[in-house]
Structure 1
Amino acid sequence: MITYNPAFDLYHCIFRMIHIIQRLDDNDCLEVDKIRIWDFYVLFPSKTYTIMIRRNEEELKSWRKRYINKTKNPYEYNGDNRKLFDRLRPYQMAALSSLVSYGIIDKKHFLNKEIMISNRALLNKFIEKTGALSQTESNTLSFMSLFSKSMSMLGIYGLKSRTNLMESKYDAG
């Protein structure tokens, strides 16, 4: 039996990435790894419930509970999140590299492991042609943006540690 999984489809990854980077303001930069983490949760919204949210962030918990369904897709991967995140890396990097080659993402920033939009008009044209995210995907992306756009990647309260998708044990910060 052949099954389709959007996680390992380069074109679907490009589709997700254009919607993710659309959330950036002009002249804003985000780390490539942060974009990759956001993409992981857009693919697997129910896994946002594995993110560590601190006690003083109750508003985020209630927002997540209200807008992101906790029930898993029955076909969703049930293994280790970190291994799955690592398996996605080649697809995510190829999608981002494609967006660099199209001139949507700035090449200098990309080589420094940052994402910055270089041509918003072209990005908007791509989005117009490809269509919108589903409501669940859009809600998940809004949650991730609200939760972590200005959050550091490093340290015990950094995004790497809170999501546990990347090694953070030896981070300074």
Structure 2
Amino acid sequence: MLIYHPIHDVNHCVYRLLLILETTQHSTIDIDLYRIVDFYTIFPSLLKNIKPFPAELSAFKRVLKEIPDPYERLTNVKRTMHELEPIQTTAIQNLLAKNIIDLEAFRARKLERTDTKLPQEIAVGLRESVLVNEEWFRMLINEFPTISFTGRKGLKARTGLMEFRYDVEPV
């Protein structure tokens, strides 16, 4: 039996990356933060598992409760995150090759959209995506970048998706 899941689809990852870059309020996004945002774009119900949930985002707790639990169960989210990384890297490289992501920003471990125009069909598809109207998605792309990312109290530690023990603690 053949089962499809967007986590293994590079083209779907390119779509998610474009969706994030086109709809965020921020001009750049850190690559590691992008990886976490992309993970939660695929598995939004896991946002409920962020412990402790950032106090700055407490207004969104109501929204998270409304996200239905999925049919599938992830037994090891850290491993799933690790398996997603090469797909995300390929998606980033595809957009770099098309000059849709800025190379200099990428060298600084950031993702920044260039002025390159997207084909009309893709641009319309991104604007009309159901995710754009989801409050939890807007929280991911607009509020997550404002939260401390590194250290024991950062998003890496709170989500449990990335190693944080060797991070330099923010001052």
2:15 corresponding residue in structure 1: 15
- Quote the Cα distance in structure 1 between the aligned partners of 2:67 and 2:102: 35
- Quote the Cα distance in structure 2 between the aligned partners of 1:56 and 1:108: 31
- Quote the Cα distance in structure 1 between the aligned partners of 2:136 and 2:168: 29
2:34 corresponding residue in structure 1: 35
RMSD: 2.5
Contact 1:104–1:123, Cα closer than 8 Å, also in 2: no
Give ranges in structure 2 of 5+ residues lacking alignment. none
Instruction: Map Cα deviations across residues 114-173 of structure 1 (whole Å, 9 max, x no partner).
Output: 111112633876332567433498443212134312223212221111111000122112
1:90 aligns to 2:86 (yes or no): yes
TM-score, normalisation: structure 2: 0.85
Letter of the 2:82 counterpart: D
Letter of the 2:97 counterpart: S
2:114 corresponding residue in structure 1: 118
Instruction: Map Cα deviations across residues 51-104 of structure 1 (whole Å, 9 max, x no partner).
Output: 121456431212322xx41412x1x24211110000000111110111111111
Other structure's SS at 2:23 match: coil
Q: How many residues align?
A: 168
What percentage of residue pairs aligned between the two structures are identical? 26
| Structure 1 ranges of 4+ moved more than 6 A | none
Match of 2:143 among 132, 140, 147: 147
- Quote the Cα distance in structure 1 between the aligned partners of 2:58 and 2:125: 38
2:45 corresponding residue in structure 1: 46
1:71 corresponding residue in structure 2: 69
Give ranges in structure 1 of 5+ residues lacking alignment. none
Change (3 A) 1:146 1:34: same
TM-score, normalisation: structure 1: 0.84
- Quote the Cα distance in structure 2 between the aligned partners of 1:124 and 1:149: 28
Contact 1:18–1:123, Cα closer than 8 Å, also in 2: no
Indicate the larger mover: 127-136 or 84-93. 127-136
